[in-house]
Amino acid sequence: MNPKLLLCLALVLSDRLTYNCHAAITYPKAPEGGKQIVEKYLDPQLLKPLGITNVADLTIADPFAEYAGGELTPGKFLSTAQLVTWRYPLMQGTNPVGSADLRAGEKLKFVSLGKSHFDNPTLEGVRVAEQLPQVKKQNYELRCLNVAPLFFSAIWFHGQSDDIVIPLPDRWNRWDAYRLYSEHEIVGILKPIMERQRAAWAKLNINPPRQPDYTIYTKAMMDYEKAHDGKCGTIAFYGMSGPYQKVTSHIQIFTLQGTSSECGRLNYRVKVTYEGLFNDVKQVDILEKITDQRS
């Protein structure tokens, strides 16, 4: 099926939302074997928390790519952005009801299942882009762009001759949501914010946070299961939940959640040690496996 058509199907969320499917907005080329990996996790027990009860009705749409923002220098911010996640929408008819995330790289790794990421801000960003005159002249590849430490999220439309960046809403109103920005303008906004934050981190004598890396959580859960003769196979990060207990300024205790096609939802009470702020995980110690929580 044509990637443009799949995008249009994914965006028809209700009778109130209609889209010009002639706009030249396309998906990137999907990685080989990605859908097959997602299919392994379309298990009723794993999908139940998402409110999905009929797995047979689900289809896996072509993925879109999520990038971590690069060097905060004009001309390098987008070119040095790194692909970190392939996000596969899970569809019931033309309605996205969830999504599956795979970590990008030489070997794809399942990360998590979650609620639909075709939320209203994303849809509005696509709708704005569709009306731009440059979109009617050439193809643009749909991408998501994030700078996690700055809580910056945008829709990035990558073309052969130029790029379109449309930031999503920011709770602190540091930029205008849904306005078309050049790379130079985005860097001009984000760089001073980053410099102020680094100065604050330096005063506190801590390192700035990195992009969240959930593989350390996955490894901790799998190592625990192997040490306790577990038979859960591959475990993927699902999420975190309270109660949260602050031990010190750099140590926190909470519930870590994973998913496995063999064992369903898994819950562990963990102690996490941070190097800097809460994206900088240094060590994960599993204190106990929780067996009295319902999946």
Q: If you write DSSP's letter for every residue of 131-176 in order, what string do you get? A: TSGGGGTS-EEEEEEEEGGGTEEEEEEEESS-EEEEEPP-TT--S-
Last residue of a domain, one of 202, 224, 247: 202
Bond into 149 cis (ω within 30): no
Both 13 and 107 in one domain: the answer is yes
Measure the CA–CA gap between 287 and 269, rounded to whole angstroms. Answer: 5
| Beta strand 64-68 pairing with 82-92 | antiparallel
Interval 25-48: pLDDT, tens: 888 889 999 999 999 888 887 787
Both 87 and 185 in one domain: the answer is yes
Both 167 and 256 in one domain: the answer is no
Both 127 and 185 in one domain: the answer is yes
Both 88 and 117 in one domain: the answer is yes
Both 155 and 58 in one domain: the answer is yes
Considering only residues 197 and 116, tell me which one the structure prediction assigns the higher pLDDT: 197
What is the CA angle 57-58-59, rounded to 5? 125
Both 185 and 58 in one domain: the answer is yes
233: left (phi over 0), alpha (psi -120 to 50) or beta: left
At 116, is the pLDDT very low, low, confident or very high (cuts 50, 70, 90)?
Answer: low
Q: Are 119 and 153 in contact (CB under 8 A)?
A: no
Both 195 and 238 in one domain: the answer is no
Domain presence at residue 22: yes
Its pTM stands at: 0.66
Interval 134-182: pLDDT, tens: 888 888 999 999 887 788 999 999 988 889 999 999 878 899 999 999 9
Q: How far is CA 128 from CA 163, 172, 210, 213, in A?
A: 14, 22, 31, 32
- Does residue 61 surpass a pLDDT of 50? yes
Per the structure block, which two tokens stand in for 220?
Answer: 């901790």
Determine the 3-state secondary structure of 31 from DSSP.
coil
Into how many domains does the chain fold? 2
Both 122 and 157 in one domain: the answer is yes
Domain presence at residue 295: no
Residue 105 identity (one-letter amino acid): G
Point out which residues pair with 83 in neighbouring strands.
67
Both 157 and 45 in one domain: the answer is yes
Least confident span in 62-66, 88-92, 108-112, 118-122: 118-122
| Cα 99 to the center of its chain, rounded Å | 10
Domain of 170 in residue numbering reads as 3-202
Considering only residues 146 and 294, tell me which one the structure prediction assigns the higher pLDDT: 146
Considering only residues 3 and 198, tell me which one the structure prediction assigns the higher pLDDT: 198
Percent of the chain with pLDDT over 70: 84
Domain presence at residue 208: no
What pLDDT is stored for residue 294 in this prediction?
43
Half-sphere exposure of 157 (CA within 13 A, CB side): 28
Last residue of a domain, one of 202, 225, 245: 202
Indicate the burial class of 277 (C-beta count within 10 angstroms; 0-12, 13-18, 19 or more).
middle
Mean pLDDT (the chain, rounded):
81
Domain presence at residue 123: yes
Interval 78-98: pLDDT, tens: 999 989 899 898 888 888 888
Measure the CA–CA gap between 236 and 222, rounded to whole angstroms. Answer: 9
Last residue of a domain, one of 202, 237, 253: 202
CATH number, residue 144: 3.10.500
Measure the CA–CA gap between 20 and 16, rounded to whole angstroms. Answer: 14
Determine the 3-state secondary structure of 259 from DSSP.
strand
Both 195 and 225 in one domain: the answer is no
Domain presence at residue 198: yes
What pLDDT is stored for residue 212 in this prediction?
60
Per the structure block, which two tokens stand in for 94?
Answer: 């033309």
Domain presence at residue 209: no
User: In the chain, which residue ranges form alpha helices assigned H by DSSP?
Assistant: 3-11, 34-40, 44-47, 120-130, 183-203, 215-227
Domain presence at residue 207: no
Domain presence at residue 161: yes
Percent of the chain with pLDDT over 90: 24
Both 173 and 31 in one domain: the answer is yes
Considering only residues 96 and 268, tell me which one the structure prediction assigns the higher pLDDT: 268
Q: How far is CA 70 from CA 73, 81, 191, 291, in A?
A: 9, 4, 11, 41
